[in-house]
A and B are shown apart, each in its own frame.
Chain A
Amino acid sequence: MAAKTSRPSQFASLEFILGAFLTTVICFAVLFSDVLFPGADKIDLMARLTKPFVSAAHPLGTDPLGRDVLARVVAGGKISLLVGFTSVIGAVVFGVLMGLIAGYYRGFWDMVVMRFADLQLAMPFILLAITFIAIVGGSLTNTIILLIISQWVQYARLVRGSVLTLREREFILSARAIGVKDWRIILQHLLPNLIGPVIVLMTLNVANNILLESSLTFLGLGVDPTIPSWGGMLADGRTYLQTAWWVSVFPGVAILLTVLGLNLLGDWLRDSLDPTGRTSR
């Protein structure tokens, strides 16, 4: 019986190790891509469409312009990680603030947040993206802004819900009774008590936003196609699917592994930060 009960925790630690390993290795490779894998934009028409696993100079082959696929995949990670992290930070800052205000003061702001939540539920991301990009045009900054617009509501709803239960608890009531200022109650008493689920959602959303950015760029609605990015490489590769499968395979593997690493970490975090979730595992 002992083995049986220890299994979930063994699995959890395996999940953490694998998730942390993938995330660290990928982040490290991408951050130091210029040093580790230089030449992402170097065109070498003599070596065009080199097959993978045959040339030591191009271990993952080359694309139709003779650019090294490995170097481009690693360099392309910069866009994905940049978009993933900055968009989530932006959405968290704005969303958490709105959620705190909505939950603490109720009234007008509460209504605003909840109506935005209704809107967000009704409009799929991709439709919002098509409309938004049709107006402002596709670019790195606009992709990040779009992701923030579409996601802040998630954090606002999550935080609002926690604040609604927390604000009736005795430690908040007593803080108010002794005349602690509102902003101090919000920042010092409420915020630390609801940050756990926010962090879990953040991890999962970095993963999700990397997926969304690559879809947008794949569709031609995201980042400038001349910058190496996973979605852009996959869009290019589609044309050569019949002749050069590797151009379409490796950027996708990179997305899959990055997102999987973050999802594993997020899943592990959810279980370790949320003791009630553990019982339902």
Chain B
Amino acid sequence: MAGFLIKRLLQAIFVVIAITLIVSFAIRLTGDPAVMMFQGGGSMTEEDLMRIRAELGTDKPFLVQYLSFMQGLVTFDLGKSFVGGTPVARLIGDALPATLMLAFVSMAVSIALSIPLGIKAATSRGKLADQVIRVFSLVGLSFPNFWLATMLVLLFAITFNLLPPSGMSGPESFIMPAVTMGVILTATNVRLVRTAMLETLQSQYVMVARAKGLSESKVLYKHALRNCAIPLITYFGLQFGGLLGGIVVIERVFNWPGMGTLAFEAVGARDYPVLQAVITVLSLMIVGINLLVDIAYGLVDPRIRTE
């Protein structure tokens, strides 16, 4: 177990270093921030540029800049935004909770939909219900998330005026974004639940539970579902990265004050400290969750460790 933990931890550290290095390096390829800050500011002399570079710290060698960024990451001091000079850490501190809340609500919607549907599909395997669910899942997989979001806005905000079209205000503002992401996640999850359930239903303890005369719902939800919970939690955990990516896109449709909106504003304004921080923070969260899922899985199922 110790070997597995160390190996997995080293892997995660490698990914963290690689991603932060690539992002830091790539951001610097986009141009000299000193020049960009001067855009529209009239004529600039070489001294002005040097002064701004010294202020921003971009005159130092790349490795020094990288190390100071990493140090800032640990101490939550990520520098200041080029636009308005707000500390980047504060911008992230405002945006991250909005994105994460949406992610958890979406995940909850998807789990609430996909578990009963997946179980229904597995128990009626090959019958009409199974095929209807399968068709719905295929259609769900084919929906562009941002278009589904737009259509919901058209229907529920513009036509029927039931829900706020954009922004994060009350609980009702979560409905459309969370349903968009939840429905699209469900399209994948329903199949995972179905496959996991099919395997479990063939096992002997399910037969025993049935033979004992337990009610069908008790057999399904108490015995079978619990036993396929581990692979399902793993799948759901690994989806987190894709979920965050999807949310970044639909935040645009709903003007959601999250990491996606922050990132796109930063791209538009060439606000590189913000962009670098957004990408790094989101990637680190995904690495962290993947690591936790793997370790948890390794703890529960010893066969994984030897892989």
**Which applies to chain A's interface (DSSP): helix, strand, loop or mixed?**
helix
B163 interface contact, C-beta 8 A: no
A90 interface contact, C-beta 8 A: no
**For window 230-281 of chain B, which residues contact chain A by CB distance below 8 Å?**
238, 241-242, 244-246, 248-249, 252-253, 260, 263-264, 267, 275, 279
- A256, B198: Cβ atoms closer than 8 Å: no
* Choice from B18, B246, B279 contacting A130 with Cβ under 8 Å: B279
A23 interface contact, C-beta 8 A: no
B9 interface contact, C-beta 8 A: no
Knowing A8-B126, A248-B150, A252-B147 are in contact, say whether A219-B252 is a contact too (CB < 8 A). yes
- A119, B18: Cβ atoms closer than 8 Å: yes
* A-side contacts of B138, CB under 8 Å: 260, 263-264, 267
* B-side contacts of A249, CB under 8 Å: 151, 154
**For window 70-110 of chain B, which residues contact chain A by CB distance below 8 Å?**
none
- A252, B144: Cβ atoms closer than 8 Å: yes
Interface size on A, as a range, is 35 or more
CA A264 to CA B141, docked complex, whole Å = 10
The proximity string for A residues 195-224 relative to B, scoring 1 for CB distances below 8 Å and 0 otherwise, is: 000000000000100010011001101000
- Number of B interface residues at 8 Å Cβ cutoff, please give it: 54
- A123, B154: Cβ atoms closer than 8 Å: no
* Choice from A127, A131, A237, A252 contacting B27 with Cβ under 8 Å: A131
Q: Give 8 A-B pairs besides A119-B18, A124-B242, A263-B138 with Cβ atoms closer than 8 angstroms.
A: A11-B131, A122-B283, A130-B263, A211-B144, A219-B264, A234-B146, A241-B153, A241-B154
Residues of B within 8 A of A (CB): 11, 14-15, 18-19, 22-23, 26-27, 29-30, 125-127, 131, 134, 138-139, 141-147, 150-151, 153-154, 158, 195, 198-199, 238, 241-242, 244-246, 248-249, 252-253, 260, 263-264, 267, 275, 279, 282-283, 286-287, 290
Residues of A within 8 A of B (CB): 4-5, 7-8, 11, 115, 118-119, 121-127, 130-135, 207, 211, 214-215, 218-219, 221, 234, 237-238, 241-242, 245, 248-249, 252, 255-256, 259-260, 263-264, 267, 280-281
